[in-house]
Amino acid sequence: MIDNMVLDKKYKNLGIHLSGGADSSIIYYALCEFYKDDPDAKIYVATQQTVWKPAYVEAAKNIIKIVGMYTGKYPEKHYTHVNTSHNSRESPDESYAAGIQEIRSVVQNEVDIDVWYNGVTSNPSVDVLHPLIDKLAKTVYKEPWMRQAAIDCTIGMNPEREQSFTKANRSPVGHKTFVRKDGSTYQYLNSHPFVQQDKMATYKAYKDLGMLEDLYPWTFSCEGPVENQNYHGIDTEHCGYCLFCLERYYAFGKLR
Ligand SMILES: [Zn+2]
């Protein structure tokens, strides 16, 4: 079980944004595990890939395959979307979020979703990350420039985003109304169990569900040099210094 995650057999149409990163992958696993013996429960998966994050669809497909192997549960449909406006590290967070909204809206127009899941977490603070970077510089970084590259990645952190989460003004469960293209509406729940916590909550979920070895190493969220973001399963290289990699070192103590 994942703390604060909505799981109730009365809900039959489940939607999830699965990026193939650590957070959404363990939520997807928990969902499939919970519904594995319920053929009436339909899971609709959405994945956005962007020019700057080109590996997501491939990674998500692989996570679906692995989770299917363990649970026997597969999605009813996997929706994918390529967002061309998110094309560099400097692309605003809004362009990424807008793409997610777009694909989610496609799903929710086709299906009356009961619960929509996503794996958003709060970032750990720079007060935690900077000492971690110093430690990595002494232990795992092969080249001296990697320490500075890691520091630079933490500078890009958006303080407003952090505040909006850490001020606890977003509950892990939200009651929402979806407006269809034709103007009609339906109610659904938003479940983002990690929203008020950082990656440590994700680590705890993997540990509690016994998937630290069997699922975590296959997840991928690195935004190092885009030419290196070529997903090929468990052997995929992570840069080690982007914010996503730092979070993995912070919570899991290793990249994969
Ligand atoms: Zn990275």
DSSP 39: T
C-beta separation of 192 from 158 below 8 A: no
Residue 221 CA to ligand 1 centre (angstroms)? 7
Instruction: Output the pLDDT for position 251.
Output: 97
Q: Closest Cα partner for 235 from 67, 70, 87, 55?
A: 55
Query: What is the CB neighbour count within 10 angstroms for residue 172?
Result: 17
CA of 241 from ligand 1 middle (Å) equals: 5
Output the CA 211–ligand 1 centroid distance in Å: 21
Q: What is the mean pLDDT of residues 50-71?
A: 93
Query: Does residue 163 register a pLDDT over 80?
Result: no
Q: Flag whether pLDDT at 202 surpasses 70.
A: yes
Tell me, in angstroms, the distance from the centre of ligand 1 to residue 6's CA.
30
Instruction: Taking residues 54-77, report their average pLDDT.
Output: 96
Q: How far is Cα 70 from Cα 3, in angstroms, rounded to an integer? A: 21
Contact 47, 17 (CB under 8 A): yes
DSSP 172: S
Full DSSP string of 211-236: -TTTTGGG-----S-GGG----GGG-
* Range from 95-104, 154-163, 219-228, 231-240 carrying the lowest mean pLDDT: 154-163
C-alpha 189 – ligand 1 centre gap (Å): 32
Ranges 87-101, 149-163, 216-230, most confident: 216-230
Taking the C-alpha atoms of residue 182 and residue 166, their distance in angstroms, rounded to an integer, is 36
The rounded Å distance from CA 223 to ligand 1 centre is 5
Of 33-37, 91-95, 147-151, 168-172, minimum mean pLDDT range: 168-172
Ligand 1 centre to CA of 238 (Å) is 5
Separation between Cα atoms, residue 113 and residue 44, nearest integer Å: 9
Least confident stretch, 172-186, 203-217, 226-240: 226-240
Q: What is the pLDDT of residues 84-129, one digit of tens each?
A: 888 877 777 788 888 899 999 999 999 999 999 999 898 898 899 9
Mean pLDDT (whole number) for 128-150:
95
Q: What global pTM score does this model have? A: 0.94
pLDDT at residue 159, rounded to an integer: 63
- Return the minimum-mean-pLDDT range out of 94-98, 137-141, 153-157, 203-207: 153-157
Tokens 């094309």 correspond to what residue? Answer: 87
Around Cβ 32, how many Cβ atoms within 10 Å? 22
Residues in contact with 100: Cβ distance below 8 Å, sequence separation at least 6, in sequence order = 17, 46, 48, 118
Q: How far apart are the first and last CA of the chain?
A: 22
pLDDT > 70 fraction of the chain, expressed in percent and rounded: 95
Spacing, Cα 245 to ligand 1 middle (Å): 4
Give me the domains of the chain, ranges plus CATH numbers: 13-124+160-236 (3.40.50)
Which whole number is the average pLDDT over 136-151?
Answer: 95
User: In this structure, which residues have their CB less than 5 angstroms from ion ligand 1?
Assistant: 222, 224, 238-239, 242, 245
CA 82–ligand 1 middle distance (angstroms): 21
Q: From the CA of 229, how far away is ligand 1's center (Å)?
A: 9
Predicted pLDDT at 229: 79
